[in-house]
């Protein structure tokens, strides 16, 4: 089965072709980072308009790269939610229109399930069951995964997600957008021990996260340095280092708790923040001590992409699932509502 995957949940237009027998055939991505950078975050209307401009040329490009004619598409998978309603509408509309013309089935994919399954695209994929840490711009969740669609939410952020916290901390430091990569780069020049930020909600039981207090602590530290006229490049780097350490250690502590709680020895990390090298190394060290393994996707499949949507959709299509014709995006969509495969 050859599945065309379409991802338009936020600020990246991702297209891919996945073959159930041969694997990923081609993929392409257009990122809107430059469009939104001057605003310090995603502007929904600008995101939707750019998806309209990019989606059809990207589909043509990917089909050409895969040496596949439109009539060779067996099904279409698209991101149904969660995400920005306007952005989701673009992908859903194009997917359903193409499917109607080609007379092929469609499947609306949950964006976070796509991230969760992205490591399955690698040569050495994880085996079920496992604990998944989903860390993206809008989500921070720990999920026990027994099989595709069999998910138990173990914990989630009660306020800002980790990715949002990185973006806001970067803005406080006068850095660019998105915040994760710029803070990670600056942190390599930071001095360990000059600042120590709190590890939120690690001093109590449970697997939920909270990063709003860490954001406030960062702001107070920045303002304090400015008041003392010590807010130079080295101070920025030291704050970036301390902030990243706090987020990474908090995530590692919660992952260790989750693995022990559900008695599993496999951890999958997925989503944009999973590309952070310090986070990967810290989780690998933690897992080694527990006798566990850590799996993640290559960096290009950590951020939003069409390949993960094509793969996730293909698995559900192979199980006999498909959508009725209609455009029904779900900007809010708890993953635990998904059916099992």
Binding site residue list for Fe cation: 111, 115, 304
How far apart, in whole angstroms, are the C-alpha atoms of residue 114 and residue 62?
19
Please write down the HEC assignment for all residues of the chain. Answer: CEEEEEECCCCEEEEEEEECCCEEEEEEEEECHHHHHCCCCCCHHHHHHHHHHHHHHHHHHHHHHCCCCHHHCCEEEEEEECCCHHHHHHHHHHHHHHHHHHCCCEEEEEHHHHHHHHHHHCCCCCCCCEEEEEECCCCEEEEEEEECCEEEEEEEECCCCHHHHHHHHHHHCCCCCCHHHHHHHHHCCCCCCCCCCCCCCCCCCCCCECCHHHHHHHHHHHHHHHHCCCCCHHHHHHHHHHHHHHHHHHHHHHHHHHHHHHCCCEEEEECHHHHCHHHHHHHHHHHHHHCCEEEECCHHHCCCCHHHHHHHHHHHHHCCCCCCCCCCCCCCCCHHHCCCC
Binding site residue list for substrate: 134-138, 167, 180, 276
Binding site residue list: 111, 115, 134-138, 167, 180, 276, 304
């Amino acid at each position: 089965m050859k599945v065309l995957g379409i991802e338009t949940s936020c600020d990246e237009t991702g297209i891919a072709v996945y073959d159930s027998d041969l694997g990923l055939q081609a993929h392409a991505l257009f990122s809107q980072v430059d469009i939104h950078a001057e605003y310090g975050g995603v502007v929904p209307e600008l995101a939707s308009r750019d998806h309209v401009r990019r989606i059809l040329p990207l589909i043509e490009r990917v089909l050409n790269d895969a040496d596949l004619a439109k009539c060779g598409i067996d099904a279409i998978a698209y991101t149904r939610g969660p995400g920005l309603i306007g952005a989701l509408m673009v992908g859903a509309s194009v997917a359903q229109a193409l499917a109607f013309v080609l007379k092929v089935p469609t499947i609306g994919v949950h964006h976070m399930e796509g991230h969760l399954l992205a490591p399955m695209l690698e040569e050495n994929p994880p085996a079920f069951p496992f604990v998944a840490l989903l860390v993206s711009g809008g989500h921070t969740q720990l999920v026990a995964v027994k099989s595709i669609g069999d998910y138990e939410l173990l914990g989630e952020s009660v306020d800002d997600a980790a990715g949002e916290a990185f973006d806001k901390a970067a803005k406080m430091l006068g850095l660019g957008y998105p915040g994760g990569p710029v803070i990670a780069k600056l942190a390599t020049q930071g001095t360990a021990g000059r600042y120590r930020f709190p590890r939120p909600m690690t001093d109590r039981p449970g697997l939920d996260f909270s990063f709003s207090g860490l954001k406030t602590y960062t702001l107070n530290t920045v303002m304090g340095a400015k008041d003392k006229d010590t807010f130079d490049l080295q101070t920025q780097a030291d704050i970036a280092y301390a902030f990243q350490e706090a987020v990474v250690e908090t995530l590692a502590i919660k992952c260790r708790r989750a693995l022990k709680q559900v008695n599993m020895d496999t951890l999958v990390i997925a989503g944009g923040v999973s590309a952070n090298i310090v986070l990967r190394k810290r989780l690998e060290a933690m897992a080694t001590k527990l006798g566990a393994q850590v799996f993640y996707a290559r960096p290009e499949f950590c951020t939003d992409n069409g390949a993960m949507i094509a793969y996730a959709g293909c698995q559900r299509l192979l199980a006999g699932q498909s959508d009725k014709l209609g455009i029904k995006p779900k900007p809010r969509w708890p993953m635990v509502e998904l059916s099992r495969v």
